[in-house]
Structure 1
């Protein structure tokens, strides 16, 4: 079985490599990496393995702002900038995914970096902020950030005029008590959310599957999150693909359970989402753990076939498809770099971003943590025709997270490194063809 799997992976890898190189003549041109990074090649000052012609530098790390001292990592997680307003693009806002209160009595934090001067400071912090994760700038000039714990809260932060201080932070319970990570908004002010939960195996209240869903909040008035309705994504098809619909409204204070009761689809740990055009992309970090009977009558786990994927939801037709899936249009990862038989592949996808050319950028919750680009050009089944390995993290203990392109700086990819093996090594990095800006 292993030899057959290796052969299949080899075929997929060849097809994948050819597609990737032939389609890289777009607005973000690069020659894909041939393999993931090996931790033996780790250099703390340049932890990313990147394509030829690209540079990297630390935008801000724990030498600039050490929120959690005494050897504790700052766990930089997700990024956004002020995407609107007269100084748009100047300030980078970051969540710090610290658990409270046992390990971090200060609680979770949101920090801000002035990309022009390099000044870094805490924007918001509270002892009861627990595992802050997702963050997103709204079209009306506020910041949404949320907690990645069961029953987690979503907050709206209103800024002072200088954009570096919080005027007030308001809990928005109508957007659901969920294990929040990904947050995005459409042109009409609707907010899309995920429940970062293993809904296919963990279940809730004795019911499996339950939770691990995708949600849509529809405000009564665009830009006002005080009133509105929450809906869950239902999919009429196998393995969470097929024709979708928004069911509800559901009870936001029991969003996981009420969404499932309404027929919401359970996925295995959805972590992030990104809207590009009229398509909502969702990163599902793990494969299903359901079993099936193979042709020889043996019971096998379908999770052996792939580990994580990205689905695409056409918001006009509500068709849900597999956009990137190992073994279909990306290689399956086997082993680790340096081990016999290792093959780099797509594994445990975590965060998503939109590239300047419209590609979907994806980073793995894995070690080594790879960054991939996928073209929106799809085949008849909705799968991307080009998936390319762009970068890979060499730090032996860390993962990359929070990939982000500022609309005002489309040539620079921002990405965080969290729980680094280096002392005070957590921070935000930039990868670009251009020279370092600011500071």
Structure 2
């Protein structure tokens, strides 16, 4: 569905959506199709091996195993987010290794200078993605069987991190907060995974609440409901097998929430799903098998973030190492490409509060090893 129309409808009136109360065939639009990027074509690779549109520049802000602001940056950087910090900001990044895992942070002043770096979580396993919470905490999620969610402070220290078992023990991927419905959405990275929401007993306190799985038919669009997971610890019965009628998703990955809508990716079928939460309907925002004309520009879908303009930025795990844009007009096109790193994946895209800087990592860099991770910053005239 055209996101510009959906977002406009969400703003125009309380309780009014682009669909009304039912999903009809005439309300649906085809998933995003090939088209020209609003930023123009990619230019030749810069000194960092990054192809960008005209007017954009890149810099390397950290490398795995190397010192940054007196701190050794972690291996295999993965999911990330940016938090406001006075006149500056903090970029947090997970470490997808076992043992060790955890997450670290880079602190920036108002001019973008790095003023600090430090650990905010340690001693965990395979920390892949996560999500920023409205109360300025980072949820770091373990992508292992019976994995936990950890609530961390972007300012540190690592000892301040808290395990949140009420949010379920499963192969976690990403998280996103919905302050309207006071829920946290969660993806699961297995081929028959579920899409979950956690409803805290008290908003802002993740120590207790209800874990629920999305229930829907087998189609790629329709309506959905929620069913309660009775035993969030996932043993002896996995959380995904506790709710009758739970919809299965093939390898849940990145997740982004804005304006009564949640978008999430599934790597097993290269899709981006759109949940219209105001009226409990879902549809495809992107499917690489339905793209025309030509071949699909976005493959290996993974982490996703968004901008105030309504653009989605989707990072590739593999593919041809691109971050692609999906516009509110349902156009998909490459925004950037990293060259010479075919053995890596792009992780952790996140914008500064001002929306003029984009951070992300190449998890394994040019070496193809977890010790070769590179974290980048891109600046330029992003759409507002």
Which residue of 168, 173, 177 corresponds with 1:181? 173
**What is the match of residue 8 of structure 2?**
none
Deviation digits for residues 154-185 of structure 1, max 9, x if unmatched? Answer: 011246xxx24345221111101111111100
1:64 aligns with 2:67: yes
Does the residue aligned with 2:216 lie in a helix, a strand or coil?
strand
Within 5 A, what are the aligned runs for 1:270-309?
Answer: 270-287=252-269, 308-309=270-271
CA distance in 1, matches of 2:135, 2:380: 32
Deviation digits for residues 61-81 of structure 1, max 9, x if unmatched? Answer: 233349889xxx811112112
Distance 1:68 1:88, change over 3 A: closer
1:192 aligns with 2:194: no
1:111 aligns with 2:104: yes
Two-structure CA RMSD over aligned residues (Å): 2.7
Gaps of 5+ in 1: 1-14, 25-29, 35-40, 101-106, 200-211, 288-307, 334-343, 378-383, 435-439
Distance 1:190 1:16, change over 3 A: closer
| Contact 2:266–2:302 under 8 Å retained in 1 | yes
| Contact 1:330–1:346 under 8 Å retained in 2 | no
Distance 1:94 1:148, change over 3 A: same
| Contact 1:356–1:405 under 8 Å retained in 2 | no
Distance 1:249 1:164, change over 3 A: closer
Within 5 A, what are the aligned runs for 1:199-348?
Answer: 199=192, 212-238=193-219, 240-254=220-234, 257-262=238-243, 263-287=245-269, 308-329=270-291, 333=295, 345-348=297-300
CA distance in 1, matches of 2:71, 2:169: 27
1:126 aligns with 2:88: no
CA distance in 1, matches of 2:190, 2:286: 20
**What is the match of residue 10 of structure 1?**
none
Gaps of 5+ in 2: 1-31
Distance 1:356 1:432, change over 3 A: farther
Aligned length in residues: 339
Larger Rg: 1
Distance 1:321 1:233, change over 3 A: same
Quote the offset at 1:136 in angstroms.
Answer: 2.6
1:406 aligns with 2:368: no
Which residue of 365, 373, 381 corresponds with 1:426? 373
- Farther off after superposition, 145-154 or 416-425: 416-425
- Normalized against structure 1, the TM-score is what? 0.71
Which residue of 31, 49, 68 corresponds with 2:40? 31
- Normalized against structure 2, the TM-score is what? 0.80
Quote the offset at 1:148 in angstroms.
Answer: 0.8
Distance 1:88 1:187, change over 3 A: farther
Quote the offset at 1:147 in angstroms.
Answer: 0.6
